[in-house]
């Protein structure tokens, strides 16, 4: 009986895909991968560097193992390894993902010297006073006045927005963009119900809240209905 | 058992010591037994404002370190029949000489014998502040109508809210100058109260009589004829739970009146 293959190599137009079986032991897998790649190397001589994708199916690889597999592939000539794909994620990863997609509601005043940070969206029922800071992985919605600093999309989400019932921030930050209040601003004009977002020139723009309906349709989480 | 009230502000020079002296005096005038505690170790001056400097024998650090009994360190105010006492701060050692635990114990002991302990807090947010709030049940935050003072008050309120053993702090706005508020050169009472969103318990005008009185060691609250004195006396009565609207003397501003009414549930 022919032994089942633990490593299958498929060529695609974007390079090669390595399918690594998820039922054998990790040790076996590594050994076979090394052998297969060495054989393969001999057959395809002086080719240009080939991108490699790895699919490990239902196997969970910890960070050290991922590095080991990547190293193994890198050692072979002409192979450039990209992502390792797995169907399995840890609970910690899921929790993080979930937290980043959650709206956290906080009802208090963020006072001078205080920092409030949430992984996902923030709904603040209260004010951010001068010297206070709110930070979110996602969007920031402030029901009261924003007079301090707000930083949305802190992990690099350019699509994130900031809204406030009264927009008088000392600084606005979205992703890696920054926008501060003009010096000596006379904020006598009421800045009511406004939003801030990053435009196509990578600048933070402050505008009427309603522009978001067009600009950020993905703010809609409501499904179904009319 | 008495209640301990800490008078704090963050920023220096806004009137914590003046407010402590006058609220203490005004509470004693109402017949309450009061002990003033100066926690501004190294920079004491509550004794000077009260005119009690010459009678100091022991101080707060002596008590904490066991060199004397509490009652030996307390300075009696002769203007009152056994109602007003001062526990002075040490002048010679630094703030780290006392810990919050020691302060807590000391204040608890005083609460057995006094109706009100009024604690004068040093400026800043470090150990001196932590000591001053350690034994407090209530807090009064003093600010002036200046942006920097209000900013520091906000910071202090945040810290007080975190120390959740203290009930929600009350606000005193000190050194108000009516003409500057009218011209918009000073933050107005409404703006400050909205911004800090805590309950306003009194406003005190900027009045040179206050400075004169302090220099003579006679807190202004003893003088029945001054605007500032009436303001302090009213604060004391509000502390006692009386519902006192703002006096016309204190301010004519309608919105201020509205705030006070709101605070006392008149609406
Ligand atoms: N309402 C007032 N009107 C005029 N001067 C005042 C008033 N309150 C305080 N002062 C003065 O301001 C100065 C600082 O006050 P003080 O109570 O020592 O502040 P702190 O204890 O907060 O440092 C003192 O000279 C005091 O006399
Ligand atoms: Mg002082």
Backbone CA torsion sign across A95, A99, A101, A104 = positive
Of A79-88, A201-210, B32-41, B198-207, minimum mean pLDDT range:
A79-88
Per this entry, what is the length of chain A? 226
Q: Is A114 helix (H, G, I), strand (E, B) or coil?
A: coil
Q: State both tokens at B106.
A: 């000391």
Give the neighbor-by-neighbor strand order of the sheet with A177-180: A115-118, A133-136, A149-152, A171-174, A177-180
pLDDT at residue B165 tops 70? yes
What's this model's pTM, rounded to 2 decimal places? 0.79
| Residue A135 host element (H or E) | strand A133-136
What pLDDT, on a 0 to 100 scale, did the predictor assign at position B254? 44
CATH number for the domain that contains residue B210? 3.40.50.300
Question: CATH 2.160.20.70 region(s) of chain A?
Answer: 95-220
Q: Which atom of ligand 1 is nearest to the CA of B12?
A: 23
pLDDT for B52 beyond 60 = yes
Helix, coil or strand: residue A104? strand
B8, B9, B16, B18, best to mutate for ligand 1 pocket (most atoms within 8 Å of CB): B18
Rounded to the nearest angstrom, the minimum Cα separation between A190 and chain B is 15
Distance, in Å, from the CA atom of A55 to the CA atom of B42, rounded to the nearest integer, reads 69
B215 lines ligand 1 (CB under 6 A): no
CB within 8 Å of chain B, chain A residues 143-162: none
| ipTM of the modeled complex | 0.78
Residue A129 has its nearest CB partner, among B154, B159, B161, at B154
Mutation site for B-interface testing, chosen from A116, A125, A129, A145 by largest number of B Cβ within 10 Å: A129
- For residue B56, pLDDT over 90 is answered with yes
The answer to whether A129 contacts chain B (CB < 8 Å) is yes
Residue A225: its pLDDT value, please? 57
The closest of B21, B71, B62, B14 to B45, measured between CA atoms, is: B21
Q: Which residue segment(s) compose the domain that B116 sits in?
A: 3-263
pLDDT of residue B263: 46
Q: Which residue of A has its CA nearest to B192?
A: A129
Considering only CB atoms, which chain B residues are within 8 Å of A132?
154
**Residue of minimum CA distance from atom 11 in ligand 1:** B211
CATH topology assigned to domain A7-88: Transcription Regulator spoIIAA (3.30.750)
| pLDDT in 10s for each residue of chain A, 226 residues | 556 788 888 888 888 888 998 899 999 898 888 888 887 665 555 567 788 889 998 999 888 999 998 888 888 877 888 888 888 888 888 888 888 888 999 999 999 999 999 999 999 999 999 999 999 999 999 999 999 999 999 999 999 999 999 999 999 999 999 987 766 555 556 678 999 999 999 999 999 999 999 999 988 876 665 5
- Quick: pLDDT tens for B109-135: 999 999 999 999 999 999 999 999 999
How much distance in Å is there from the Cα of B228 to the middle of ligand 1?
12
What pLDDT does A98 receive?
Answer: 85
pLDDT at B133: 96
CATH architecture for segment(s) A95-220? 3 Solenoid (2.160)
Percent of chain B with pLDDT over 70: 92
Condensed to tens digits (0 to 9), the pLDDT of residues A117-142 reads 999 999 999 999 999 999 999 999 99
Q: Closest chain B residue to A147 measured between Cα atoms?
A: B195
Please give the Cα distance from B35 to B109 (Å, whole number).
12
The protein residues having their C-beta less than 5 angstroms from ligand 2 (an ion) are B 16-17
On chain B, the residues whose CB falls within 8 A of the CB of A130 are 151, 154
- Reading the block at residue B196, the tokens are 């800090």
* Chain A residues within an 8 Å CB radius of B154: 111-112, 129-132
pLDDT of residue A83: 82
Domain count, chain B: 1
The residue of A106, A108, A113 whose CB has the most chain B CBs within 10 angstroms, and thus the best one to mutate to test that interface, is A113
Ligand nearest to the CA of B122: 2
Minimal Cβ distance to B158: which of A112, A127, A130: A112
Please state the rounded mean pLDDT for residues B165-187. 88
DSSP run (H or E) holding A194: strand A192-198
> Is the four-CA dihedral B111, B116, B122, B124 of positive or negative sign?
positive
Q: Is ligand 1 within 6 A of the CB of residue B217?
A: no
* pLDDT of the residue at B256: 52
> Residue with the nearest Cα to atom 16 of ligand 1?
B15
Q: Per-residue pLDDT for B252 more than 50?
A: no
Give residue B79's pLDDT. 96
Burial code (b: 16+ CB inside 10 Å, e: under 16) for A33-68 equals beebbeeeeeeeeeeeebebbbbbeebebeeebeee
| Cα(B118)–Cα(B85) distance, integer angstroms | 10
Neighbours of B244 (CB within 10 A): 16
d(CA A98, CA B160): 33
**A125 part of contact set with chain B, CB < 8 Å:** no
Question: Is any atom of ligand 1 closer than 6 Å to the C-beta of B22?
Answer: no
Q: Are B86 and B38 in contact (CB under 8 A)?
A: yes
If you measure CA to CA, which chain B residue comes closest to A148?
B151
Residue B192 above 60 pLDDT? yes
Distance from CA of B196 to the nearest CA of A (A): 8
Cβ–Cβ below 8 Å for B155 and A109: no
Looking at residue B208, what is its pLDDT?
A: 94
C-alpha distances (whole Å) from B123 to each of A133, B7, B22, B92 are 24, 10, 18, 18
Contact A127 B155 (CB under 8 A): no
> Average of pLDDT values for B69-84?
96
- Asked if pLDDT for residue B41 goes beyond 80, the answer is yes
User: Helices marked H in chain B — which ranges?
Assistant: 16-29, 46-50, 60-64, 70-73, 100-113, 127-134, 147-162, 178-182, 189-196, 208-215, 227-239, 254-263
Contact A197, A161 (CB under 8 A): yes
- The answer to whether B73 and B47 are in contact (CB under 8 A) is no
Count of other CB atoms within 10 angstroms of residue A103? 14
Residue of chain A minimizing CA distance to B160: A111
């Amino acid at each position: 009986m022919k032994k089942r293959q633990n490593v299958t190599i498929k060529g695609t137009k974007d390079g090669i895909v390595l399918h690594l079986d998820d039922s054998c032991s990790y040790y076996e897998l590594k050994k076979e991968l090394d052998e297969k790649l060495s054989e393969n190397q001999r057959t395809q001589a002086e080719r240009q560097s080939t991108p490699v994708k790895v699919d490990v199916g239902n196997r969970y690889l910890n960070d050290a193992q991922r590095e080991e597999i990547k190293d193994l592939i890198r050692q072979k000539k002409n192979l450039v390894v990209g992502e390792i794909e797995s169907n399995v994620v840890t609970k910690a990863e899921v929790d993080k993902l979930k937290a980043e997609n959650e709206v956290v509601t906080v009802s208090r005043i963020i006072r001078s010297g205080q920092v409030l940070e949430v992984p996902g969206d923030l709904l603040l029922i209260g004010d951010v006073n001068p010297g206070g800071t709110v930070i979110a992985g996602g969007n920031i919605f402030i029901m009261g006045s924003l007079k301090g600093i707000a930083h949305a999309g802190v992990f690099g989400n350019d699509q994130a927005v900031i809204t406030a019932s009264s927009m008088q921030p000392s600084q606005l930050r979205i992703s890696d963009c920054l926008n501060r209040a003009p010096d000596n601003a006379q904020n006598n004009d009421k800045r009511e119900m406004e939003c801030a977002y990053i435009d196509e020139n990578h600048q933070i723009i402050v505008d009427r809240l309603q522009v978001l309906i067009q600009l950020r349709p993905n703010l809609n989480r409501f499904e179904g209905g009319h | 058992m008495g209640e301990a009230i800490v008078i704090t502000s963050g920023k220096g020079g806004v009137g914590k010591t003046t407010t402590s002296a006058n609220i203490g005096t005004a509470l004693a005038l109402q017949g309450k037994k009061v002990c003033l505690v100066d926690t501004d170790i190294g920079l004491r001056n509550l004794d000077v404002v009260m005119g009690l400097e010459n009678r100091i024998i022991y101080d707060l650090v002596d008590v904490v370190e066991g060199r004397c009994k509490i009652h030996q360190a307390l300075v009696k105010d002769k203007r009152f029949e056994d109602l007003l006492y001062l526990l002075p701060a040490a002048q010679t050692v630094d703030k780290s000489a006392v810990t919050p635990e020691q302060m807590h114990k000391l204040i608890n002991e005083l609460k057995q014998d006094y109706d009100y302990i009024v604690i004068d807090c040093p400026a800043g947010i470090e150990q001196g502040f932590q000591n001053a709030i350690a034994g407090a049940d209530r807090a009064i935050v003093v600010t002036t109508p200046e942006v920097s003072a209000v900013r520091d008050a906000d910071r202090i309120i945040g810290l007080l809210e975190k120390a959740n053993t203290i009930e929600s702090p009350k606000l005193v706005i000190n050194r108000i100058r009516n003409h500057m508020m009218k011209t918009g050169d000073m933050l107005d009472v409404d703006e400050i109260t909205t911004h800090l969103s805590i309950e306003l318990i009194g406003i005190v005008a900027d009045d040179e009589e206050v400075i004169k009185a302090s220099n003579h060691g006679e807190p202004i609250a003893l003088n029945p004829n001054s605007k500032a004195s009436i303001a302090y006396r009213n604060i004391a009565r509000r502390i006692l739970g009386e519902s006192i609207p703002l006096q016309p003397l204190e301010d004519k501003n309608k919105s201020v009146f509205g705030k006070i009414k709101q605070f006392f549930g008149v609406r």
